[in-house]
């Protein structure tokens, strides 16, 4: 298996991929924790800090440039996920945005109202909802199937009732790589008039997101996971946003989206975010077949290409790990079910602590994560919390088949040494 030609071309745009760390070129398989960025993102951020470094709504050019920058960023986010710009709220990261929205929703919660959360989710889509117990909310937990890491939809169906107000669910698991059937979950939740809050942080670098198609009420992601800087992006359906009363300072605008954006935004981060979205669109225009000249069509074409390449990476990863003596892969193991996963693969090796594996790989220039990745419900459910959790290998589109081979070969060698 060989790496597609276009991947080598785009790799040249990522300065970090060409820089040695401690004398060797690293293999970045730590993407689920944060991605590397193309040069244009870095340049856009630097340019913003030189040319448009002011606060908003002023009477002078640099301030007006910031106002324009924010409008362009909202349009970029809208194009990325299929929303209207007025439905886009920016913030520091997914976790902070989710606490903000859960607090606003908390104002409408009456004692006995129910909120559904899942054990498959990152804690950032759990803790902000569990916090509403202080408003009298009752939390209903939905399990996943430990044998393949898929959500237990029968249990979800049983958890829903006319008392359910919110269903908080992840689009893709950052621990096991499972892709949840969001559209179906939305249909189930809407049938009892509950709102659905989707954590798309782990989905965004891998899947084409369309909030209209999904039908969700809220969706949140983080640009640093998809080749941008540290900026959080929240979509809220306009009628839902209008129904909420966010916590805000008095002089700030009282209408969405600004009413939900506390304080001064990370303007240079927004500049980088726009560049990251344009990077993805360029991947689609250069290497895909967008049916029309719009940025949205180009992004879809890019994600198609990316998904195709990631499929090859994931196939090799699963195949190679399966051959490692004593290795257990958690989550979906067969490529026949590729539609239900992204190329984030977690495993353990009998007799090895996950940190020891990650450390040994790290010394060889191969960067992988170990632990629970804040997906606490997953490691608890699998009985691995307190045991070091999992080793997680996360491929992104800039990874090559050769890098996967280097990872597998190094892992095999390290394990044989013990």
Ligand X SMILES: Cc1ncc(COP(=O)(O)O)c(C=O)c1O
Establish if 132 lies at the interface with ligand X (CB under 6 A): no
Instruction: Compare residues 201 and 283 and give the one whose CB is closer to ligand X.
Output: 201
Establish if 180 lies at the interface with ligand X (CB under 6 A): no
> What is d(CA 1, CA 312) in angstroms, rounded to the nearest whole number?
8
Label residue 191 exposed, middle or buried (CB < 10 Å: 0-12, 13-18, 19+): exposed
Binding test (CB under 6 A) with ligand X, winner from 36, 95, 266, 372: 95
Instruction: Compare residues 287 and 347 and give the one whose CB is closer to ligand X.
Output: 347
Binding test (CB under 6 A) with ligand X, winner from 13, 78, 88, 93: 93
Establish if 76 lies at the interface with ligand X (CB under 6 A): no
- Cα 185 from chain centroid (whole Å): 18
SS3 call for 355: helix
Task: Give yes or no for a contact between 330 and 415, defined as CB atoms under 8 angstroms apart.
Answer: no
> What is d(CA 49, CA 60) in angstroms, rounded to the nearest whole number?
16
Number of amino acids touching ligand X (CB under 6 A): 14
- Find, among 198, 211, 179, the residue nearest to 79 by Cα: 211
Instruction: Compare residues 113 and 217 and give the one whose CB is closer to ligand X.
Output: 217
Q: Which residues contact 158 (CB under 8 A, 6 or more apart)?
A: none
Query: Per the omega criterion (within 30 degrees of 0), is the bond before 371 cis?
Result: no
CA diameter of the chain = 67
Instruction: Compare residues 170 and 290 and give the one whose CB is closer to ligand X.
Output: 170
> What is d(CA 104, CA 248) in angstroms, rounded to the nearest whole number?
10
Binding test (CB under 6 A) with ligand X, winner from 80, 201, 303, 368: 201
> What is d(CA 381, CA 156) in angstroms, rounded to the nearest whole number?
17
Stretch that binds ligand X, among 88-96, 103-111, 160-168, 340-348 (CB under 6 A): 88-96
Establish if 168 lies at the interface with ligand X (CB under 6 A): no
Establish if 392 lies at the interface with ligand X (CB under 6 A): no
Establish if 379 lies at the interface with ligand X (CB under 6 A): no
Cα→Cα distances 416→321, 366, 370, 390, Å? 14, 17, 20, 20
What is the closest distance, in whole angstroms, from the C-beta atom of residue 373 to ligand X in the complex?
6
Question: For residue 82, what are its two tokens?
Answer: 């299929």
Stretch that binds ligand X, among 81-89, 109-117, 197-205, 302-310 (CB under 6 A): 197-205
Establish if 232 lies at the interface with ligand X (CB under 6 A): yes
Establish if 348 lies at the interface with ligand X (CB under 6 A): no
Q: Hey, CA dihedral for 18, 24, 27, 31, is it positive or negative?
A: negative
Instruction: Compare residues 7 and 179 and give the one whose CB is closer to ligand X.
Output: 179
Instruction: Compare residues 165 and 202 and give the one whose CB is closer to ligand X.
Output: 202
CA R_g for the chain: 21
Binding mask 16-55 for ligand X (x = CB under 6 A): ----------------x-----------------------
Establish if 346 lies at the interface with ligand X (CB under 6 A): no
Establish if 270 lies at the interface with ligand X (CB under 6 A): no
What is the closest distance, in whole angstroms, from the C-beta atom of residue 343 to ligand X in the complex?
14
Q: Work out the number of other CB atoms within 10 angstroms of the CB of residue 120.
A: 28
Stretch that binds ligand X, among 147-155, 194-202, 322-330, 354-362 (CB under 6 A): 194-202
Place of tokens 């002011």: 54
Instruction: Compare residues 344 and 400 and give the one whose CB is closer to ligand X.
Output: 344
The single-letter DSSP state of residue 231 is: -
Q: Which residues from 102-131 bind ligand X, rule CB under 6 A?
A: 122, 124
Binding residues for ligand X, rule: CB under 6 A, are 32, 93-95, 122, 124, 170, 174, 199, 201-202, 222, 232, 374
């Amino acid at each position: 298996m060989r790496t597609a030609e276009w991947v080598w071309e785009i790799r040249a745009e990522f300065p970090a991929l060409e820089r040695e760390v401690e004398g060797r070129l690293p293999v970045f398989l730590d993407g689920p924790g944060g991605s590397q960025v193309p040069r244009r993102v870095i340049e856009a951020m630097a340019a913003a800090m030189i040319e448009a470094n002011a606060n908003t709504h002023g009477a002078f050019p640099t301030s007006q440039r910031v106002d324009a920058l924010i409008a362009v960023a909202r349009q970029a986010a809208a194009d990325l996920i299929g929303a209207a710009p007025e439905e886009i709220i920016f913030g520091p990261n997914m976790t902070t945005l989710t606490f903000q929205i859960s607090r606003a929703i908390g104002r409408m919660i009456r004692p006995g109202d129910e909120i559904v959360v899942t054990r498959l989710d990152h804690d950032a889509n759990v803790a902000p909802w569990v916090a509403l117990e202080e408003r009298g909310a009752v939390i209903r937990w939905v399990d996943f199937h430990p044998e393949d890491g898929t959500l237990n939809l029968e249990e979800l169906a049983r958890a829903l009732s006319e008392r359910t107000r919110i269903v908080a669910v992840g689009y893709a698991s950052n621990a096991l790589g499972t892709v949840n059937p969001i559209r179906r979950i939305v249909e189930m939740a809407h049938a009892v008039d509950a709102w659905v809050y989707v954590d798309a942080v782990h989905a965004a670098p891998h899947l084409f997101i369309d909030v209209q198609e999904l039908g969700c009420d809220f969706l949140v992601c983080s640009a640093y996971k998809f080749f941008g800087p540290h900026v959080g992006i929240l979509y809220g359906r306009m009628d839902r946003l209008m129904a909420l009363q966010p916590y805000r300072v008095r002089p700030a605008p009282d209408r969405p989206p600004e009413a939900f954006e506390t304080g001064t935004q990370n303007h240079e981060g927004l500049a980088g975010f726009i560049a990251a979205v344009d990077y993805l669109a360029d991947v689609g225009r250069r290497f895909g077949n967008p049916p029309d000249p719009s940025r949205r069509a180009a992004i879809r074409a890019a994600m198609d290409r990316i998904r195709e390449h990631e499929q090859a990476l994931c196939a090799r990863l699963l195949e190679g790990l399966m051959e490692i003596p004593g290795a257990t892969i958690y989550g979906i193991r067969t490529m026949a079910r590729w539609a239900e996963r992204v190329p984030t693969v977690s495993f353990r090796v009998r007799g090895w602590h996950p940190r020891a594996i990650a450390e040994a790989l790290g010394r060889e220039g191969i960067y992988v994560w170990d632990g629970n990745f804040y997906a606490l419900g997953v490691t608890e459910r699998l009985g691995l919390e307190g045991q070091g959790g999992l080793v997680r290998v996360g491929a992104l589109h800039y990874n090559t088949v050769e890098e996967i081979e280097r990872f597998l070969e190094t892992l095999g060698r390290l394990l044989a040494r013990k």
